[in-house]
Amino acid sequence: MSSVKRRGLLFIVSGPAGSGKTTIITKLIDAGDFVFSVSATTRAPRPGEVDGVDYFFVTKEDFKDRIRRGEMLEYAQYVDNYYGTPRRAVEKQLEEGKDVLLDIEVQGALQVMQQMKDAVSILILPPNSKELEKRLRSRGTEIESVIQARLERAHLEFKYFTQYNYVVISKDNCVDEAADEIRAIKKAESLKSSRNTYIKESFFE
């Protein structure tokens, strides 16, 4: 039998603030279902942050050079700083057979979808917009203008609903259920014949 190692799968996960995305992703990463892709940023490290663990901290000049060389899978600029996903780090993990998870917003997700046609995209949503607003307000950490801005952003991002391969509904107190649905997606994707061509090549060895 051939010793060819299965190439890892790339998963893009998006969801508005209040969708429960971060909690679900943390559960999957902690359980070892995926490896997390570390982003690069030009902002300064915050207390306790470690280079290569929380972010790859780079200069603006370095980041712009990476963009010009096509080394970023996706990137965006927020408050005079750049954030993005280094292509090389992701490719290395995929080649090692690891399933990589990108936690990125719709803008970045669309960029990755264009470059990585075999990526699996998942959109995490609350049951409805009223539930989303309820969750944002229940935090008690954001002023009204911020809440309204988040709701408006979620409305705009929802227009890209059909661009994603899968949608997972994050119900209240059902983190395990949502995580299991993503595991089921991963299992189904890993069994696709198009991802297992080495079997055809090695079957009669």
Which residue is associated with the tokens 């705009």?
156
The structure's pTM equals 0.86
pLDDT score, position 1? 44
Domain edge (last residue) among 70, 96, 122: 96
pLDDT score, position 78? 81
| Shared domain check, 68 and 143 | no
Domain edge (last residue) among 61, 81, 96: 96
| Shared domain check, 161 and 60 | no
| Shared domain check, 189 and 145 | yes
pLDDT score, position 140? 80
| Shared domain check, 81 and 65 | yes
> Residue 78 class from Cβ within 10 Å (0-12 exposed, 13-18 middle, 19+ buried)?
exposed
Neighbour tally for 75: CB within 10 Å: 21
Give the mean pLDDT per block of 10 residues along the chain (205 residues).
74 93 95 95 94 94 96 90 94 96 93 95 94 88 88 89 95 92 97 84 74
pLDDT score, position 3? 55
pLDDT score, position 203? 78
Domain edge (last residue) among 75, 96, 117: 96
pLDDT score, position 150? 87
